[in-house]
Structure 1
């Protein structure tokens, strides 16, 4: 790997990555932090790879301008909860709670992000357990455990011994997206694959899954923009 800069106003930092797996030169902008990675096969010279980036300079800058960048979770900021953007504000009492278009957080501002993360994880566990129980009952199969993680590579998984894992960030997505992921993973209790038979089970459990699946593909990575400190 190497760090390079595409000249211009402003200059663009590019990480050049060479890998044996690459079959062609490609540019990628991370939707998490806006970093630009230029990937190319081992046989391609740095000069040739950077020339490709120069040719794509206009496209690169246009996309960087539209990139929202990371979002810090703090008092005064906005963040999604169950598909709705809420303004984070200081609130009374002992519990974080949504109220109208606000997410009210008790305590000192420096603890707001940690309190919100705890609230989201508990809400995610409650909603995902409810949805998983519902779909498992419809399927006629039980699962052994349910766990939450903060995974970037997948929204959920199902192990061969009936363990369900979900990303707790699903609680920030619209409710139909969360329930679709639950139906998807529960369907793996019957079909540990992505065959036509598997998608038939998903359809039987959830119905038409195309819209929530498309939402995850197009907007799901935005949920990882939100930083909770630490």
Structure 2
């Protein structure tokens, strides 16, 4: 682009969808409210997202930043109430209790023993024992959970694929907030590692769900008939995810920012 001498270059106008966030003081701390313009929105709407543990304000096409800020301030008490209801974060550290295949395990540090992570029987339930130095406990527990998730999901996916007589590709694990699994057109499967925290019938249903997409890349009647064939009573697993799925995101190696 050429500019005439003596005339400053014009600065590009910012995108109308890039809106300045709102920062509210709630309970002695600053809470950032992200503003997102939605061309299909009819009104201002607020959401406190349990998984991301954040606040999002949707702005309609003709809404303004000034109105959005005023709306957020007007509903500050509502935001405070919803944030207070979020379950506390649980770090993968000694003393914590975490579900493994739906059963609560108590994390115990065994610094003087050799090995990585193993399970022992305890007086009040199973123990998840971790060897090594204290700074590595959270990472070792996280790695253990992901290995267990990969093993269980691989077994379940291959079993369902054999039942349908379809081929599946590579199986990978992610930590996504919006979906528990996915299936690409090439047959590659991706799952949330957090499914290892849920009861086994939930993990098995998600494997059946994604493998069923190898026959039907949609969510039509034939797809659900295939899911039911692979996983009779899958509705129970879906109900569990609706009620408890968000709580699986409580657990992590590091505290939320």
Calculate the TM-score normalised by the size of structure 2.
0.79
Pick which of 2-11 and 186-195 moved more. Answer: 2-11
Q: Is the 8 A contact 1:124 1:170 kept in 2?
A: yes
1:2 alignment partner, SS class: coil
Corresponding residue to 1:121 among 146, 154, 160: 146
CA contact (8 A) 1:31 1:225 kept: no
Q: Which has the higher helix share?
A: 1
Q: After alignment, is 72-81 or 52-61 more displaced?
A: 52-61
Matched, 1:4 2:22: yes
The equivalent position to 1:70 in structure 2, one of 89, 107, 110, is 89
Counterpart-to-counterpart distance in 2, 1:48 and 1:194: 39
Say if 2:26 and 2:80, in contact at 8 Å, map to a contact too.
Answer: no
What root-mean-square deviation, in Å, do the aligned CA atoms of Structure 1 and Structure 2 show?
2.4
Superposition pairs for residues 92-103 of structure 1, below 5 Å? Answer: 92-99=113-120, 100-103=125-128
Deviations 1:23-82 (A, max 9, x none): 121111121353222221242233433443455444333222211243322112222211
> Which structure has the larger Rg?
2
| Inter-partner Cα distance in structure 1 for 2:197 and 2:115 | 22
Deviation at 1:170, TM superposition (A): 0.9
User: Residue in 2 aligned with 1:44?
Assistant: 63
Q: CA deviation at 1:128?
A: 0.8
Partner of 2:58, secondary structure, is: strand
Q: Distance in 2 between matches of 1:9 and 1:149?
A: 33
1:172 maps to 197
Deviation at 1:229, TM superposition (A): 3.8
SS in structure 1 of the partner of residue 46 of structure 2: strand
> In the alignment, which of 3, 15, 18 is matched to residue 33 of structure 2?
15
Equivalent residues, number: 230
Unaligned residue ranges in structure 2 (runs of 5+): 1-18
